[in-house]
């Protein structure tokens, strides 16, 4: 197993460029490029989540979007962004893979939930859920472990 760290800013900047090119029309091309950045299993896992309509976005009345991804055993709060953070929100996911592979060992740029959310946003495949104040309170409580 390699110890090379992938979260350096050069790689992140390249990834950001690839992501910006992504539309439904360029999906095949972009997937080829994404294979340089992610293991096949991660990529397929992310596409599978999108296929299952597992990327949920809650739009708040004041224009903020909260994302959740329905995993096979749990629902994870995802804060989509890119590892470089340059002008973007830093990505974060509440799943164990993110904590281990991304934050601790730095062997992956992101988990499949963050990748699925980034891809779904570009492809307009997020499942939009309207949300009222009560529901929003429970989403925030869940996401912040309150
Ligand atoms: Zn995750």
Instruction: Please say whether the beta carbons of 24 and 126 come within 8 A.
Output: no
Q: How far is the CA of 21 from the centre of ligand 1 (A)?
A: 23
Measured in Å, residue 71 CA sits from the centre of ligand 1 at: 8
Q: Examine the pLDDT at 61 and tell me if it is beyond 80.
A: no
Cα 82 to ligand 1 centre (Å): 14
Per-residue confidence (pLDDT) for residue 3, from 0 to 100: 46
pLDDT at 2: 45
Following CA atoms 62, 130, 138, 117 in sequence, which dihedral angle do they give, to the nearest 10 degrees?
-90
Spell 106-144 as b/e; 16+ CB within 10 A means b: ebbbbbbbbbbbbbbbbbebbeeeebeeeebeebeeebe
Burial bucket for residue 42 (CB in 10 Å: 0-12, 13-18, 19+): buried
Least confident of 5-9, 18-22, 114-118: 5-9
């Amino acid at each position: 197993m390699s110890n090379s760290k992938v979260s350096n800013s050069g790689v992140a900047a390249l990834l950001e460029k690839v992501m910006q090119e992504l539309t439904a029309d360029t999906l095949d091309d972009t997937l080829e490029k994404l294979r340089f950045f992610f293991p096949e299993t991660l990529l397929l896992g992310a596409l599978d989540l999108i296929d299952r309509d597992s990327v949920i976005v809650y739009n708040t009345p004041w224009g903020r979007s909260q994302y959740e991804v329905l995993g096979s055993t749990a629902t994870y709060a995802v804060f989509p962004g890119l590892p470089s953070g340059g002008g973007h929100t830093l990505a974060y996911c509440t799943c164990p893979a993110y904590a281990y592979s991304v934050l601790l060992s730095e062997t992956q740029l992101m988990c499949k939930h963050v990748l699925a959310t980034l891809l779904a946003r570009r492809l307009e495949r997020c499942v939009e859920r309207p949300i009222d104040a009560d529901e929003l309170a429970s989403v925030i409580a869940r996401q912040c472990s309150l």
